[in-house]
Amino acid sequence: MKNSASIRRSGCLVLTAMLAVAGAASLQAQPAPEIKRSILLRQDMSITGREAVVAAIELPPGSAEGRHTHPAELYVYLIEGEIVLETEGQSDRVMKAGDVAAVAPGRVHQALNRGGVTAKGIALFVAEKGRPLASPAP
């Protein structure tokens, strides 16, 4: 009898370990939260060769943009939620609803949402007409 109980106990431990590994694997397999970007306005400016681009951005909880640059001046207004703005050469900045930030052209940066609610903001780019708005950082 002792052998049978020991085998059942060992079997339960093995099954528990397998379920734990399977659960961890399924958590890792879930896709990263998708960041939504919508261009609200794209308009020529009175400055030759420049255009204004206004975009709405939504960063769900746990999302990160990834390090990137813009060949444009960038101004961000956070409407809802909270983000961390990481900008190369500067201290990380926690932005809350109502905060505004500026990022210089070519500066490597990213926004991360470490909070529990979707962060929503408006981005204004003063961009060179015809150039892409963003490029991944090397």
Structure tokens at 69: 């640059």
Tell me which residue has tokens 């109502």: 98
Q: Give dist(CA 84, CA 101) in Å, integer.
A: 11
pLDDT at residue 50 tops 70? yes
> Letter for the amino acid at 18?
M
pLDDT score recorded for residue 31: 72
The per-residue pLDDT for range 82-125, each reduced to its tens digit, is 999 999 999 999 999 999 999 999 999 999 999 999 999 999 99
Window from 4-18, 40-54, 88-102 with minimum mean pLDDT? 4-18
Per-position DSSP letters for 31-53, written without gaps between them: PPPPPEEEEEEEEE-SSTTEEEE
> Letter for the amino acid at 26?
S
- 2 against 51, higher pLDDT: 51
> Letter for the amino acid at 75?
Y
The per-residue pLDDT for range 62-78, each reduced to its tens digit, is 999 999 999 999 999 99
pLDDT score recorded for residue 30: 64
Phi, psi of 25, rounded to the nearest 5 degrees:
-65, -40
